[in-house]
Amino acid sequence: MGSKTFKYSLSLIYGPARSRRLGLSLGVNPSPLTCSFNCVYCECGEKAYYVESPERVPTKIAHEVVYRSLEQVLNEVGESRLDTITFSGTGEPTLNDELGLMIKDAKALADTRVTVITNSSLLRRRSVREALSSADEVVAKLNASSQRTFLTINRPVDKSLSIGDIIEGLMRFKQESCSSLTIEILLVDLEGSRGNSSLEEIEGLSEALRKIEPDKVHIHTIARYPLERYVHPVSRGRILEAASAFEKVLGRGRIHTYSSGALRYSIFRSTLLGYLRTGDPEAYRRLIEGSYKCPLTGRSLNPMNFCYCASCGLVFSMREARIRLIDDEYVLLCPKCSAVLHRSSGG
Ligand code: SF4
Among 266, 282, 300, the domain-final residue is: 266
Whether 1 maps to a domain, the answer reads no
Instruction: From the CA of 36, give the closest atom in ligand 1.
Output: 8
The model's pTM? 0.95
Beta-bridged to residue 171, according to DSSP, are none
Q: Whose CA is nearest to atom 4 of ligand 1?
A: 39
Domain that holds residue 314: 268-344
Task: Report the separation in Å between the CA atom of 315 and the middle of ligand 1, taken as the mean of its atom positions.
Answer: 23
Same domain, yes or no, for 55 and 135?
yes
Please report, as a single letter, which amino acid is at residue 174: K
Listed residue (271, 245, 130) closest to 187, CA to CA: 245
CATH number of the domain enclosing 169: 3.20.20.70
Whether 8 maps to a domain, the answer reads no
Q: pLDDT by residue for the chain (347 residues), tens digit each? A: 444 556 677 889 998 999 878 899 999 999 999 999 999 999 999 999 999 999 999 999 999 999 999 999 999 988 788 999 999 999 999 999 999 999 999 999 999 999 999 999 999 999 999 999 999 999 999 999 999 999 999 999 999 999 999 999 999 999 999 999 999 999 999 998 889 999 999 999 999 999 999 999 999 999 999 999 999 999 999 999 999 999 999 998 999 999 888 999 999 999 999 999 998 899 999 999 999 999 999 999 999 999 999 999 999 999 999 999 888 788 999 999 999 987 877 65
**C-alpha 70: how far from its chain's center?**
19
Same domain, yes or no, for 174 and 283?
no
Same domain, yes or no, for 82 and 153?
yes
CATH number of the domain enclosing 323: 3.30.40.10
The rounded distance, in Å, linking the Cα atoms of 324 and 48 is 11
Same domain, yes or no, for 244 and 292?
no
pLDDT given for residue 2 in this prediction: 46
Same domain, yes or no, for 260 and 338?
no
Residue 248: CA atoms inside 13 Å, Cβ hemisphere, count? 11
Same domain, yes or no, for 137 and 262?
yes
Same domain, yes or no, for 95 and 239?
yes
Among 266, 295, 328, the domain-final residue is: 266
Whether 5 maps to a domain, the answer reads no
Listed residue (293, 339, 330) closest to 7, CA to CA: 330
Whether 129 maps to a domain, the answer reads yes
Same domain, yes or no, for 300 and 220?
no
Same domain, yes or no, for 262 and 272?
no
Whether 99 maps to a domain, the answer reads yes
Same domain, yes or no, for 197 and 333?
no
Whether 248 maps to a domain, the answer reads yes
Instruction: From the CA of 154, give the closest atom in ligand 1.
Output: 4
Q: Whose CA is nearest to atom 6 of ligand 1?
A: 42
Dihedrals phi, psi of 148, to nearest 5 degrees: -65, -50
User: Quick count: other Cβ atoms within 10 Å of Cβ 75?
Assistant: 10
Task: Report the separation in Å between the CA atom of 344 and the middle of ligand 1, taken as the mean of its atom positions.
Answer: 34
Whether 130 maps to a domain, the answer reads yes
pLDDT given for residue 79 in this prediction: 77
Whether 90 maps to a domain, the answer reads yes
Q: Strands, E, within 192-344: which ranges? A: 216-221, 231-233, 255-257, 306-308, 315-317, 322-326, 329-333
| CA dist list (Å): 301 to 274, 277, 280, 315 | 16, 15, 15, 9
pLDDT given for residue 122 in this prediction: 98
Task: Report the separation in Å between the CA atom of 10 and the middle of ligand 1, taken as the mean of its atom positions.
Answer: 17
Q: Which residues line ligand 1 (CB under 6 A)?
A: 35, 37-39, 42, 44, 91-92, 119
Among 222, 244, 266, the domain-final residue is: 266
Q: Whose CA is nearest to atom 1 of ligand 1?
A: 42
Task: Report the separation in Å between the CA atom of 176 and the middle of ligand 1, taken as the mean of its atom positions.
Answer: 25
- Surface-to-core class of residue 124, CB atoms within 10 Å of its CB (0-12 exposed, 13-18 middle, 19+ buried): middle
* Number of domains making up the chain: 2
Same domain, yes or no, for 281 and 225?
no
Instruction: From the CA of 41, give the closest atom in ligand 1.
Output: 1
Same domain, yes or no, for 257 and 290?
no
